Amino acid sequence: MTVKTLEDLLSEGVSGRRVLVRSDLNVPLDGSVITDDGRVRAALPTIRRLAEAGAKVIVAAHLGRPKGTPEAKYSLRPVADRLGELLGKEVRLAGDVVGEQARAVVAGLADGDVALLENVRFDPRETSKVEDERAELARDLAALTAEGGAFVSDGFGVVHRKQASVYDVARALPAYAGGLVLAELEVLSKLTGDPQRPYVVVLGGSKVSDKLAVIEALLPKVDRLLIGGGMAFTFLSAQGHSVGSSLLEQDYVETARKLLAEHADKIVVPSDVVVADKFAADAATDTVAAEKIPDGWMGLDIGPRTTEHFAAEVAAAKTVFWNGPAGVFEMAPFAAGTKGVAQAIADSDAFSVVGGGDSAAAVRVLGLPEEKFSHISTGGGASLEYLEGKELPGVAVLEGGA
């Protein structure tokens, strides 16, 4: 792709200039405590390089799904504090997005300083479907940079969104692709181009409906598609098995049946599952064959036989893409499948990509060394849409399209 990059901007010189950076800082919180700072750490290199080059860095980001108005639980205060710790300098948080407080904080920036605007989704124009409303917010964001301003798109996790701070602002300011966005696109292009074979994809998560488009896009390209997580039960139902009270998307059973018929040589579903009598960490559990789930019980993880099978498929692969946990890994009784698959990927010699979201969180929560994976993506939804072959608005606009 042909875009201006962070390197281009730095070569132009940024000392004394205000640079707006769109980062993806949508981290999981427990109250006000960040439980996984992976996205903050991924955003650091671009922010640090600009600050060290003397730019006055203004970071825009979102957290959660506020309804276009300020909500204390979605404040970026914990993110500002953590970003400051990692940078080794104070990161001032503006009390609003583009209002009086934002203007005051930005005006007080010295060369090399970093400020974080409050959650951009507190402004309803950010996610508006009305182009003029988004464009208005984009102009307000651009105005914060004053004369000589620039925009760096570095939030890969949001480039599939046509939103003001991702898309429209790139039309209001000279726009550049940040290092994180470029790295993500380079890695994902290896999966859609001519990947080394065998090429194995591991898909988990709760719903077939969320992953159907990527399943259909990947099946012609992969050698094996290993299906775990809640979505597996729709496929097991399609095989004629009773799934008890497991998660089941009845509307997609026929689709799953067709996929199994057309790609029987590629699709691998669980042969055994860990079941529970309720959705809770203290539930009674058992391991049963996939076709023998008792009535009233729910499958919450792949079983040990399936984990071993998946691990063997991964071990033989030259390229692996993993998106979605194999079970409810947040609860200890149902974490073994996800950990087993993740460990197999970590131990393999394959070019391995972890597709963001819950999978990336699982790597860190389960204590696996991140350096054992070739790439851990910061953008689950964006990664999937790229692999589906969809145009990513936040990338297209940098190329002068969309």
Active site residues: 39, 207, 357, 381
Any residues with CB less than 8 A from the CB of 335 and at least 6 apart, and which? 301, 327, 328, 329, 366
- CB atoms under 10 Å from CB of 120, counted, come to 26
Residue for token digits 């959705």? Answer: 279
278 is in an annotated binding site: no
* CA-only gyration radius of the chain, Å: 22
Any residues with CB less than 8 A from the CB of 20 and at least 6 apart, and which? 58, 59, 60, 141, 142, 144, 145, 149, 150, 151, 152, 169, 173
Q: Angle, nearest 10°, between helix axes 179-192 and 380-388?
A: 40
Q: Taking Cα atoms as reference points, which of 43, 331, 2 lies closest to residue 176?
A: 2
Q: Are 241 and 262 in contact (CB under 8 A)?
A: no
Identify the helix (H) or strand (E) that includes residue 56: strand 56-60
79/26 Cα distance (integer angstroms): 9
24 is in an annotated binding site: yes
Burial of 189 (0-12, 13-18, 19+ CB in 10 A): exposed
73 is in an annotated binding site: no
376/365 Cα distance (integer angstroms): 14
384 is in an annotated binding site: no
77 is in an annotated binding site: no
299 is in an annotated binding site: yes
211 is in an annotated binding site: yes
339 is in an annotated binding site: no
Q: Are 318 and 199 in contact (CB under 8 A)?
A: yes
Cross-strand partners of 114: 57, 91
161 is in an annotated binding site: yes
39 is in an annotated binding site: yes
50 is in an annotated binding site: no
In 204-245, which ranges are E strands?
A: 224-227
Residue for token digits 């991140």? Answer: 370
**Amino acid symbol at 44:** L
Cross-strand partners of 321: 201, 353
- CB atoms under 10 Å from CB of 301, counted, come to 31
- CB atoms under 10 Å from CB of 349, counted, come to 8
85 is in an annotated binding site: no
Beta strand pairing call for 375-376 and 33-34: unpaired
49 is in an annotated binding site: no
68 is in an annotated binding site: no
48 is in an annotated binding site: no
198: cis peptide before it, omega within 30°? yes
Which segments are annotated as binding site for substrate?
24-26, 39, 62-65, 121, 161
> Would you list which residues are annotated within the binding site for ATP?
211, 299, 330, 356-359
Annotated binding site: 24-26, 39, 62-65, 121, 161, 211, 299, 330, 356-359
